[in-house]
Amino acid sequence: MHKAFVNINRIPTPIITWGKWIEESLTDVKELVICITGNPGLPGFYTEFGAALEQELPNLPVWVIGHAGHEDPPEASIREVPQLSGNEELFNLNGQLAHKLDFIKNYVPSHVKIHLIGHSIGAWMILQLLEDEEIRSRVKKCYMLFPTVERMIESPNGWTFTKIAMPLYSVFGYVSFRFFNMLPVWVRIFLIQTYFFIRSIPNSFVDTALQYFKSSVAEKIIFMADDEMARVRFLQHKNIEEHLPLLKFYYGKTDGWVPVSYYDKLKLEFPQVDAQLDDKGIAHAFVLRHSKPMASIVGNMIKENLD
């Protein structure tokens, strides 16, 4: 595994890879895997998934890219993420799309075919990326995992976010995050580990969670989520129909962001769609507890589409 910060669309961005690093020669590579994260978009949450996927696909490089502004470089770094205020266009959905376009066009040679994994809002981004002819010509297949591609605000979690979480954040959020980060590191780690213990989340994600709770990061994560509620409303019929052969959807049975009714609607409106309903009890936030079984499922999907 290799992790480093790279400037993408003017934003220092953490990239994690297995196999070839993004700046290595890819002359001998015919296909690779790129995973676009959900929100929060910290690649550190995807380390177990990426490692397990590499085991499934030992001959393919696996790259994970998060979202612009969702992780700050180390304090000793000369790179610095711009503040949110005055730079909103870099961190909203349009900015995140420009960020992914810049990454693919600058680091994936034209001869390399891409297997695109989109988790949650990453699936919505894939639908937008396919509108770019240059990107579409490089894509071998898209794997849409727990895809938030419609009616986010109408989902149970969308209702909770807009009616409860956002009002609370607007009053207490910034101060709460500032206070949390004023605590000694050992206290912050203890609180996170306690929460992880209650939720059965591995402690290997503690360092990533510390990044998530930084006020400069949290405000960009919440800003993007708020933009998702406003933008991700209607199913993109024309886009899905045009690119149906490239798309593979995977829905959960107990997903607060993507209810089963959304899966049923997709199947009804697109009878030929390649869509699957989970039968293994995998959660929407699969990277926290179900990385290995999800990597096995996705690995098999990709194997079916290799040359």
CA distances from 297 to 60, 275, 276, 294, 300 (A): 16, 13, 11, 5, 5
Cα of 293 vs its chain's centroid, Å: 18
Distance linking the first and last C-alpha atoms of the chain: 25
At 77 the pLDDT is 81
In whole angstroms, what is the distance from residue 150 CA to residue 121 CA?
10
At 293 the pLDDT is 97
Show the domains of the chain with their CATH numbers: 2-303 (3.40.50.1820)
Neighbours of 105 (CB within 10 A): 13
pTM of the shown model: 0.95
In whole angstroms, what is the distance from residue 38 CA to residue 297 CA?
18
In whole angstroms, what is the distance from residue 128 CA to residue 147 CA?
13
At 184 the pLDDT is 93
pLDDT beneath 50: ranges in the chain: none
At 206 the pLDDT is 95
> What is the Cα gyration radius of the chain?
19
At 181 the pLDDT is 84
At 223 the pLDDT is 96
CB within 8 Å of 165: residues ≥ 6 apart: none
Active site residues: 120, 255, 284
Which structure tokens are listed for 296? 């096995």
Contact present, 22 and 15 (Cβ < 8 Å): yes
At 47 the pLDDT is 97
Contact present, 33 and 117 (Cβ < 8 Å): yes
Residue 250: strand pairing partners? 145, 276
At 142 the pLDDT is 98
